[in-house]
Amino acid sequence: MARDILLDIKNGTIGKSEASELLISLIENSDDVDFRVKCLTLLADIDINTKKTFRILENCLISDENLSIRTTAADILINKFLNEASVALDWTIENEESLLVLTSIFKGLKGKNDTLSKNLKDEIINKFSEIYGVVFEEANFILELYSLAIENVDELRRFANTHKFDGGPFQIPKFHNYFLTPRLEIKDKHIISLDLFFWKLRELPESIGSLSKLKYLTLGSENLQRIPDSFNSLQELKWVELSSIPKFESIPKWILYIAKKCYAKGYTKDGVIEEEAYILGIFEILIGYELLRIEKYQKAQKNSQICSYKLNENGSISEIFLPNPTKFKLQLIPEQISNLQSLEILDLNNNSIIHIPDSIGALNNLKYLDLSNNNIITLPNPIGSLISLEYLNLSGNKIGELPKSFNKLKSLKSLKIDNKLIENVPQNLKSVIKNT
């Protein structure tokens, strides 16, 4: 019916004033919440900025029992009647018991830079500061986090659950597994631990840089595309854990930064040279497990699922074993692997690798490469530059053809490859083919 009114306006059947009166009547008398929300939205769409329209919106914001109605009214008032609604908004911020409504108001004001909007935003931040027991800047981060977690005000309204302030963090029920209460650990009014495991954010607020005491961070990383530059300001940060690994063809800057800042230290303590430690950090992020150092005399257990590495006498990485990790399967080989100039053994069997970087051709000392049982479709041409390679296992992949450079693998003594590719093997390497 609400959309019929809009159609009647477009057709000239009724005027805007008559439509406004009809919509106000429906808003006041209907018990159907979704219908009332549609009528409120339509009332804003027909753009009748009368005192009566303002009064109905103000009344909905201040006294309606339903969160969806209150958030809708707040959004319209901010965009259509901001100055007139200043008293109502101020009263709501002081008395509202739903953090959902407060977040909606904050989100609506976020892009406005006038004095009134700034003062109202500051009031909301101060309220969040009291609720959570954190400093002003970190309360602002919490609000911006909630604002980012919601694509638009319509989705915000779906979380229509009230909360009475009881001195503890509020609870918002799960919705599509991405809008959950963040688990916080707070000490001396500062957030020191933040768990966003189930939050499927595309980005983090720039204000995360204000968390000056943050030590531990867990991210729901499936959709994460960007970490702001302010992340560099988190001087106390010791650990970052990812809930999942996004699909990408190369290592994004934010993973590289986390690997260097949070993960490399543990490997340098184990004797890895600083220039290479962060690469183990990248692998750890990508598979969700710490790589264990094993001594030269120890043999890596191929079927143990223990991810490990070895060092030479100079502290350079000589061997890496990541067979069949159980938390996250490795999806790609980081291009930074080219920095491991002492690497002789690389065992990545039973993962989900699709892409092999061109940089793998820079591993001049690599003798053993196991890429079996992955999802590799093509091999880069620089693979032919592996002048020291003696053992190569490519079986169990989706490779369609071998690169022309393959015949340059002069040191190869053992080649395991799917039968369909045997015909593609250069004549000079036919003799080293082994049964798979």
3-state secondary structure 230-293: HHHHCCCCCEEEECCCCCCCCCCHHHHHHHHHHHHHHHHHCCCCHHHHHHHHHHHHHHCCCCEE
Q: Which of 379, 407, 408, 410 is nearest to 393 (CA)?
A: 379
3-class secondary-structure state, position 321? strand
Task: Check if the beta carbon of residue 103 is closer than 8 Å to that of residue 143.
Answer: yes
Rounded (5°) CA angle 270-274-277: 60
Distance CA 124, CA 304 (A): 53
> First vs last Cα of the chain: how many Å apart?
68
Task: Check if the beta carbon of residue 341 is closer than 8 Å to that of residue 316.
Answer: yes
Distance CA 147, CA 323 (A): 41
Please give the model's pTM, rounded to 2 decimal places: 0.74
Structural tokens at position 69: 């109605």
Query: Left (φ > 0), alpha (ψ -120 to 50) or beta: where does 133 sit?
Result: left
Task: Identify the H or E element spanning 434.
Answer: strand 433-434
pLDDT at position 178: 34
Structural tokens at position 29: 């008398």
Structural tokens at position 306: 């223990």
Q: Which residues contact 351 (CB under 8 A, 6 or more apart)?
A: 322, 324, 325, 329, 330, 331, 373, 374
pLDDT at position 361: 96
Distance CA 386, CA 374 (A): 20
Strands 183-187 and 190-196: antiparallel
Distance CA 317, CA 272 (A): 7
Q: Which residues contact 64 (CB under 8 A, 6 or more apart)?
A: 70, 73
Q: Where are the domains of the chain?
A: 49-242, 293-434
Angle between helices 16-29 and 33-45 (to 10 degrees): 160
Calculate the CA 155 to chain-centre distance: 19
Structural tokens at position 380: 């880069």
pLDDT at position 319: 96
Would you write out the chain's pLDDT as a tens digit for each of its 436 residues? 555 665 555 455 667 777 778 888 888 888 888 888 888 888 887 766 678 889 999 999 999 998 889 999 999 999 999 999 999 999 999 999 888 889 889 999 988 999 999 999 999 999 999 989 999 999 999 999 888 876 544 444 444 333 333 333 333 333 333 334 567 889 999 999 998 877 777 788 999 999 999 999 988 766 777 788 888 889 898 888 887 776 777 888 888 888 998 899 999 999 999 999 999 999 999 888 899 999 887 877 665 668 999 999 999 999 999 988 878 889 899 999 999 999 999 999 999 999 899 999 999 999 999 999 999 999 999 999 999 999 999 999 999 889 999 999 999 999 999 988 888 888 888 888 886 6
Distance CA 194, CA 240 (A): 10
Query: Left (φ > 0), alpha (ψ -120 to 50) or beta: where does 104 sit?
Result: alpha
Distance CA 355, CA 313 (A): 32
Distance CA 11, CA 32 (A): 27
Distances in Å between the Cα of 343 and the Cα atoms of 364, 365, 367, 388, 433 are 8, 6, 8, 11, 24
Distance CA 214, CA 96 (A): 30
Angle between helices 86-95 and 67-80 (to 10 degrees): 150
Task: Check if the beta carbon of residue 127 is closer than 8 Å to that of residue 102.
Answer: yes
Give the phi and the psi of residue 381 in degrees, each rounded to 5: -60, -35
| Full DSSP string of 170-187 | -----STTT--PPEEEEE
Calculate the CA 418 to chain-centre distance: 37
Identify the CATH assignment for 293-434 out of 3.30.450.20, 3.80.10.10, 3.40.50.80, 3.30.565.10: 3.80.10.10
pLDDT at position 150: 63
DSSP bridge partners of 368? 345, 391
pLDDT at position 13: 66
Residue appearing with tokens 């302030």: 165
Strands 391-393 and 368-370: parallel
Q: Residue 233, exposed/middle/buried by CB under 10 A (0-12, 13-18, 19+)? A: middle
Strands 391-393 and 433-434: unpaired
